[in-house]
Amino acid sequence: MISVDFDLTIGRPPEEVFPYLEDPEKVARWQASVVELRQETDGPRGVGTRIRDVRKLLGRRIESTVEFTEYDPPRTLGLKMKAGPIPFRVLQTVEPADGGSRVTVHAEGEADGVFKLGGGLAARTAERQMRGDFERLKKLLESGA
C-alpha cells in the first residue's frame, strides 16, 4: 500500500484554487506527468464524472479512467481510478487559511506489476511527484497566471 499525505497553503481563495483541481485543462497545466486529460462524461462535473487520464510515469505510458467520488466545490474533490494499472484514491480538500487556501491531499493506492517490484521506490517517487505538482500549482496561482 502506498499512502501520501501533505498540505500546503496557496495565496489564492478556494474559489480560485478548486477549478485547478477539477478541470482537466487546468490540471494539465500543473501536473508534470500528464500527457492527456479529457472529460469522458457529458454535462457539468460532479460525482460520477469520468476523466480519461494518460500519464508518463517511470518511463512508462499509463492510461486510466478516473472518476469523481466526492465533489463539493470549492471544498472537496475525491477521485478513484475506475480502470487502469495502479488502483488509487485521492481526496483533496481546500479550506480558507491565512488569506488564501490550505490544500490537503490524501492519496492511497496499490502498486501493481512493474510498480510493485519497485515497492518503496514507487511510493517515494509518487510522493515526490505529487508534492512537486502541488508546488507548481502554488507558483502558477500565486503568479497570477
Question: Tens digits of per-residue pLDDT, 35-70?
Answer: 999 999 999 999 999 999 999 877 889 899 999 999
pLDDT at residue 32 is higher than 70: yes
Residue pLDDT, tens place only, 101-144: 999 999 998 765 545 545 556 667 778 889 999 999 999 999 98
As for how many domains the chain has, the answer is: 1
Q: Which structural domain range is residue 59 located in?
A: 2-142
CATH of the domain at 25: 3.30.530.20
Q: 104, 4 in Cβ contact below 8 A?
A: no
